[in-house]
Amino acid sequence: MANGWTPERRAKQREAIQLWRPWEQSTGPQSDEGKAVSSQNAVVHGLRARGWLAYQKRINDLLRACKERLKQI
């Protein structure tokens, strides 16, 4: 193969990984700071982030209230 991974080498590597099982040693972030950082791993652009959507809703509610108030005048 072009990248050096023959089927035999791939099978040998799979067996080695199955023996040492790195996923069982991974515990994730321990500190609050680490948890906060890792919680943002999936954020790509933030336009659908919970905080941003809540902010948009508050702005839209305020604009709607202003329009209703102007209609009464």
Q: What is the pLDDT of residue 63?
A: 97
In a domain, 51, yes or no: yes
Q: What is the pLDDT of residue 40?
A: 83
Give the DSSP letter of residue 43. Answer: -
CB of 46 within 8 A of CB of 52?
A: yes
In a domain, 61, yes or no: yes
Q: What is the pTM of this model?
A: 0.39
Domain count along the chain: 1
Q: What is the pLDDT of residue 13?
A: 95
In a domain, 64, yes or no: yes
In a domain, 73, yes or no: yes
In a domain, 72, yes or no: yes
Task: Provide the b/e sequence for 11-23 (b: ≥16 CB within 10 Å).
Answer: eeeeeeeeeeeee
In a domain, 66, yes or no: yes
Structural domain of 60: 46-73
In a domain, 41, yes or no: no
Q: What is the pLDDT of residue 61?
A: 97
In a domain, 5, yes or no: no
Structure confidence by residue, pLDDT tens digits, 13-72: 999 999 999 889 888 899 999 999 998 887 677 777 788 889 999 999 999 999 999 999
